[in-house]
């Protein structure tokens, strides 16, 4: 393999700054609605209105800024598979600062290709807002020392449908003598759309 397979996107300072702009835009839209529609109808002092406005901005930042640093990324090259994901609000906030300061990131796990015995692929059904059904893929890497490393994609940076890249990853590992355990024959379906894969998974569930 001459190039890396990157599932997700390595966030840059520019990505973070763009996210800041979007966050501030929505924050000031909400603030504008409150200032021009809600506050005039409420009998409170201008001082309290200012305090509430500052609190809204502060709470919005506290809630949304860490989300920027909460994405996932998987990188595969000729020698290693590396997985990046920061958990916890405080750690995600620090991740945003790290990106802004252009410091090197550290992988959650870094596994050499030669140490992988097999990779199993499975799925889990999910239910989102308004009862919308979906699925998430589950990957388990069994190492030759019998350690199991799991990867469950749920918030891949860069967005989009990464199923074809998962197929590319599995094909690459298979060529490197890594056994692919695929009881539901999902690998061959990864080239389909997400809706088609969901329909396929629903049929599996119906036949259980």
Residue 32 in tokens: 């504008």
Indicate the pLDDT class of residue 45, thresholds 50, 70 and 90.
confident
The distance of Cα 162 from the centroid of its chain, to the nearest Å, equals 11
The answer to whether the beta carbons of residues 161 and 194 sit under 8 Å apart is: yes
The least confident of 89-98, 101-110, 151-160, 198-207 is: 151-160
Q: How many other CB atoms sit within 10 Å of the CB of residue 8?
A: 22
Q: Taking the complete model, does pTM exceed 0.75, yes or no?
A: no
Q: What is the pLDDT of residue 154?
A: 63
**Phi (first) and psi of residue 134, to 5 degrees:** -150, -165
pLDDT tens-digit readout, 120-179: 999 988 887 677 788 888 999 999 999 998 888 765 544 456 788 889 999 999 999 999
Q: pLDDT of 67-81, one tens digit each?
A: 777 778 888 998 999
Strands of the sheet with 72-76, listed across from one edge: 5-7, 72-76, 80-85, 109-112
DSSP 8-class letter at 36 = I
Which residues does 197 contact at the CB level (< 8 Å), separation at least 6?
Answer: 135, 163, 186, 189, 190
Residue 158: the pLDDT is: 46
In the predicted structure, residue 9 carries a pLDDT above the cut 80: no
Average pLDDT, stretch 24-37?
83
* Residue bearing tokens 């889990």: 124
* Helix residue ranges per DSSP H, 38-106: 46-68, 89-100
| pLDDT for 120 | 96
For residue 121, report the phi and psi dihedrals to the nearest 5 degrees. Answer: -120, 130
Distance of CA 133 to the CA centre of its chain: 18
Burial 91-126 (b: 16+ CB within 10 A, else e): ebbebbebbeeeeeeeeeeebebeebeebbbebeee
Q: 109 is written with which tokens?
A: 């796990």
Please name the helix (run of DSSP H) or strand (run of DSSP E) that holds residue 128, with its range, or none. Answer: none
């Amino acid at each position: 393999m001459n190039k890396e397979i990157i599932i997700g996107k390595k966030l840059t300072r520019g990505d973070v700054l763009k996210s800041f702009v979007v966050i501030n835009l929505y924050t000031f839209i909400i603030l504008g609605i409150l200032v021009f529609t809600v506050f005039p109808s409420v009998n409170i002092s201008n001082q309290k209105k200012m305090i509430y406005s500052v609190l809204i901005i502060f709470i919005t930042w506290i809630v949304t800024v860490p989300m920027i640093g909460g994405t996932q990324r998987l990188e595969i090259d000729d020698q290693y598979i590396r997985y990046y994901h920061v958990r916890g609000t405080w750690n995600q906030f620090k991740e945003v600062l790290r990106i802004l300061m252009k410091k090197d990131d550290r992988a959650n796990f870094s596994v050499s290709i030669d140490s992988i015995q097999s990779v199993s692929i499975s799925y889990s059904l999910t239910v989102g807002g308004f009862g919308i059904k979906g699925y998430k893929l589950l990957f388990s890497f069994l190492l030759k020392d019998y350690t199991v490393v799991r990867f469950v994609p749920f918030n891949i940076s860069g967005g989009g449908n990464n199923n074809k890249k998962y197929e590319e990853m599995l094909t690459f590992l298979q060529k490197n003598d890594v056994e692919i355990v695929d009881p539901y024959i999902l690998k061959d379906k990864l080239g389909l759309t997400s809706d088609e894969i969901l329909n396929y998974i629903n049929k599996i569930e119906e036949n259980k």
